[in-house]
Amino acid sequence: EGQVISVIGIVNEIGNHLITDEPYVSINSGAMFELNSIQCMISNIDQVSGISVGTEITIEGAFIEWVVFSATLRPCSIKGKPN
């Protein structure tokens, strides 16, 4: 917990947390029927400009928890996105 990691993946969801309304980007391997994902809780929604579902990105953040099929990174930011 708290360790900063960097992960490359395919965006499978962009949204806001149901309880905190915090913006996030969720990535996974891009495989069909993929259950596992990593939620990158971002502080600035502007980071997702130019990003859509299916885009490959790099995220970096502090691991805080693993719940069922999803890991959460907070704080987290998008480090690499398409030009």
Of 69, 19, 83, the C-alpha closest to 41 is 19
The DSSP code for 6 is: E
pLDDT digits (tens, 9 = 90+) for 9-51: 999 999 998 898 999 999 999 998 899 999 999 988 888 888 9
Q: Write down the pLDDT at residue 82.
A: 64
Of 49, 57, 46, 53, the C-alpha closest to 82 is 57
> Which residues on neighbouring strands pair with residue 15, listed in sequence order?
24
pLDDT digits (tens, 9 = 90+) for 68-83: 999 999 999 999 776 5
pTM of the model: 0.89
- Torsion of the alpha carbons at 5, 24, 18 and 34, rounded to the nearest 10: -70
